[in-house]
Structure 1
Amino acid sequence: MSKELSEYEIKTLLEKIRSEYQEHGKLNPKVFDQTSFETRYLQVLRLRGNLSKFLSEEIAFLEQLKGKIQNLAAKKEAAKASTLNRIMDESMEKLEKYQKIDFHPVAKLELRYFYGAMVQFADTELPVLLNIFKGTPEYSFLQDSVLVLERIGISRRGMPSLKIQEVTKSLLDANGNPILIEKVSQALLRDGCIALKNVSQSIQDLTAKNRINPDLMVQVSDREYPKAHVVYGGKRFGRSLEMISERCKEIIQDFRMNSLLGMES
C-alpha cells in the first residue's frame, strides 16, 4: 500500500472496513466492535494523524481478528467431534457388557447386543418373574410384557427367537436400504424396551400396593434355569423384584431408549 492514499482509496478502504465490521459483528458483536473503530477513526481525524497508516493498521487488525475467530471455530469443531466420539465410545462400552449375538450380517451392532441382552434377561430374570407371579391374579399385569420378552429372548432348537427370525426377514426385505434397516432396528429396540418398562412399572406398583409377600424365597431349578439360580437362588421376593426392576431400567438406559419412553433419570 502506498504511503499516502487518494481520497477515493481512503473512501474505498473505509467502506471495506465498515462492511467487514458489520458482517462479522452480526455473529461476534463484542469482538468486531464497529463503535470502537469509529471512535479511533474520529480521533485520528481530530488529531490530524496519518490516515493512510491508520487505515492500513486497521485492515491488518481486522485480518488478525478474523484469523483468531477462525482458529476458535476450528477448535470448537474439533472439541465437538472429540465429545461426540467420547459419547459414542461410552455408549459402546455400555453395550459391550452384554452378550453379542451375530444373528445376521446385515444387523446393526447395537441390535446384536440388544438381542444378547434379551437372551440374558430371558435366561436370568424371566424364570424368577414366572416363579413369583405365575398362577396369581397379579400375573395379568405382566403377562403381555412377558410374552413380548419371551418372543425376543427365547430360542428353540438352536434357532434364533421367533421375533429375531421376523426381524431377519425384514432386514433382508430392506434390501440394503439404510433407512429401512434403521426402522426395523428401532422397532425391535422400542418394543423390547416398552416391555421392560412395563415390567419395571408393574413391579413397583404391585410392591407399593403390598400385592406381593416380599419375604417368600425364590425357587428356581438349578438344572432348568442355571443362570437364574446363580443370581436369584435363595433370595427373597422383595429383593429379587428390586433387582429385576433395576435390570429393566439399566437395559433401557444402556440402549438409549429412556428419553423416548419418558424415563429420563
Structure 2
Amino acid sequence: MTNTTLTLNNEVTLPAIGFGVFQTPADETATAVAEALRAGYRHIDTAAAYFNEAGVGKALRASGLDRSEVFVETKLWISDYGYDAALHGFEKSAAKLDVEQIDLLLLHQPLTTRFDLTLDAYRALEKLYADGKVRAIGVSNFMPEVLAELLEKTEIVPAVNQIEVHPYFQQRELQALHAEHNILTQAWSPIGGVTIYGDGQKSTLENETIGQIADRHSKSPAQVMLRWHLRQGRSAIPKSIKPARIAENFDVFDFELSTDELAAIDALDTGVRGGPEPSAITLENYGMPIPEA
C-alpha cells in the first residue's frame, strides 16, 4: 500500500493527504479544520490570501494535539513579495496561525512581471529556513520556465511546487521537471473542482471511467482520484466543509488501483487548465493588502 507520508528533499516528512481551506469562510474555518483533525488529518494547508489562517490557528489550539503532530503549510501572497515584505509576511502568518515555526512556507504565485520581487521573496524564505523559522520552503503555480529561472538564481531547491493537478489537467512536463530536481508535486484541486466544463465534458466526479473504477472498489470517484495521486507519488490537498466528505477524502489508504486503472485515468488528460493562468497574476490585477494579525 502507498505510504501515508512523503519525504521532502530536505528529509522533512509530511502527511501525503492534506486538508485544504481555500474559499472556506473565515468563520467556518475553525470548525472545518477541527472536523478534519478529528477525522485523522495531520496536515493543514492554508494561505495568507485565504484570509482564514486565524481560524486554522484556533482549531489547532482547541484540538489538544501537540504542535509537532500537525504539519502546517501556508503561502505568502504577491502583495508581500520583496525581501523585507516577505519576512514580515511570515510574521503575519505565524501570528495568525499562533505558531512559532511554520512547517512549509510557499510563494503562492510567481510574479512574472516583477520577477525581481519574486526572487527577493524566495531569498527571504531561504533566510527563514536558515534561521529555523520554517522547516521547508517551496513555491506554488510555478510553470517550467519560471521554475527553471528560480532554480538558476536561488540557492535552495524548493521542496514543493503546489500546482493544479487532476485527471483532466496533469501538467506532465512540469511534473517531470519536479522529478528531475526532487521537488514534490502537490496537487491543489486534486479532484478537478475548479474545472469549468464545456462541450459536453462531464465533471471528473461524473466521469464514466472514474465511476467504473470506483464501483469496482466500492469507493467514491473522489477517493479513486485521490488514490491515483498517492499511487503516483503526489501530495494532494482536498477540501470540503461537509463532515462526511472530509472523512471520505481521508479514507483512501485501504485499496489499490491496478496498472490498467492508473493508465485509464492518465488517459483522461485534456490539457485544459481550470484555474487562472499563472502568468496572468499581476499586482495590478490581483494585488491586495494582507492584514496584520
- The alignment's TM-score, normalised by the length of structure 1, stands at 0.24
Higher normalized helix content (fraction of residues): 1
| Structure with the bigger percentage of strand | 2
Q: Which has the higher contact order (CA 8 A, sep 6+)?
A: 2
- Quick check: which has more Rg, 1 or 2? 1
